[in-house]
Amino acid sequence: MRIDQTGTRQHGTEPGLLEVSDLRAGYGATLILEGVSFTVPPRGRLALLGRNGVGKTTTLATLVGQTTRHGGSVRVDGVELGSLSSSARAAAGLGYVPQTRDVFKSLTVEENLITGLKGRPRGALEEAYSLFPRLGERRRNGGGELSGGEQQMLSVARALLGQPTVLLLDEPLEGLAPVICDQLMDALSKLEMTVILVEQQIDRALAFADRVVFLDRGRVAHAGPADGAAADSALLERHLGVSLAA
């Protein structure tokens, strides 16, 4: 399905086309993004990388309408999101898993998931439990009783219940043990939607993605294929100040 300029869903074209053009945004009068452009095709997987403070989180937050926009355009399946509210952006297809993991600590796992249903029947919760069986085992536990990995699974599962066509993930692996990172990346690799992944674990991000964009001080410093970047230690060194272990 596709949504045209009037918000009508059209059949026949695969959804999930994200077009970001000359995006300028920040916090109040402070400009952080100084003209960011990239396109992700339906089901495309983009790794959005760069050193601390270059604007990765600001980019994702701008896509979902949580910053001050100064100019440029964001389109999902041809729909300009410019002046839309956060809920209208979700309806246009955006799903967001913020760096802070928005788990409600006072609600159970299941109650947290229900907040993501957006009017869908309760039976849809089984989608979450099938993607992350651990959440099924923990469904009556409080959000505050979960491990970091379980919280991240819950945050991802909740976003997925809204049936996004474009999923934005901000450092989902942060603070997780390697075995949990493996489990989470396995689950993410099964998703059939457009994904932007911001991650510090460069090797995992580049293995997951098909394209990569490196940001530097609010601008795109490099864009290209992910496998090429993974093999180019000089490129990684230049944009991240790190190199992958041989």
Ligand X SMILES: Nc1ncnc2c1ncn2[C@@H]1O[C@H](COP(=O)(O)OP(=O)(O)O)[C@@H](O)[C@H]1O
Report yes or no: 23 and 33 within 8 Å, Cβ to Cβ: yes
Site for ligand X (CB under 6 A): which residue of 15, 17, 57, 173?
A: 57
Report yes or no: 220 and 71 within 8 Å, Cβ to Cβ: no
Alpha helices, DSSP H, located in the chain: 56-63, 86-91, 109-114, 125-131, 133-137, 148-161, 178-189, 202-208, 226-230, 233-240
3-state SS track over 99-135: CCCCCCCCCEHHHHHHCCCCCCCHHHHHHHHHHCHHH
Nearer to Mg ion, 51 or 139 (CB): 51
Report yes or no: 138 and 150 within 8 Å, Cβ to Cβ: yes
Q: Does 201 bind Mg ion (CB under 5 A)?
A: no
Range in contact with ligand X (rule: CB under 6 A) among 46-54, 76-84, 160-168, 228-236? 46-54
Please choose, from the candidates 125, 178, 124, the residue with its C-alpha nearest in 3D space to the C-alpha of residue 149: 178
Environment class of 178 (CB within 10 Å of its CB; exposed 0-12, middle 13-18, buried 19+): exposed
Span between the terminal Cα atoms of the chain, in Å:
43
Q: DSSP 3-state assignment of 12? A: coil
Give the nearest distance from C-beta 113 to ligand X in angstroms.
27
* Residue number closest to Mg ion, CB atom: 57
Q: Does 57 bind Mg ion (CB under 5 A)?
A: yes
Q: Does 58 bind Mg ion (CB under 5 A)?
A: no
Give the nearest distance from C-beta 202 to ligand X in angstroms.
14
Residue 6 neighbours by CB distance under 10 Å: 6
Q: Does 27 bind ligand X (CB under 6 A)?
A: yes
Total residues binding ligand X (CB under 6 A):
11
Nearer to ligand X, 56 or 158 (CB): 56
Q: Does 52 bind ligand X (CB under 6 A)?
A: yes
Q: Does 155 bind ligand X (CB under 6 A)?
A: no
Nearer to ligand X, 187 or 221 (CB): 221
Q: Does 50 bind ligand X (CB under 6 A)?
A: yes
Give the nearest distance from C-beta 9 to ligand X in angstroms.
32
Nearer to Mg ion, 57 or 67 (CB): 57
Please choose, from the candidates 87, 99, 127, 92, the residue with its C-alpha nearest in 3D space to the C-alpha of residue 197: 99
Range in contact with ligand X (rule: CB under 6 A) among 51-59, 118-126, 176-184, 223-231? 51-59
Nearer to Mg ion, 50 or 93 (CB): 50
The site for Mg ion (CB under 5 A) is made up of 56-57
The site for ligand X (CB under 6 A) is made up of 27, 30, 32, 50, 52-58
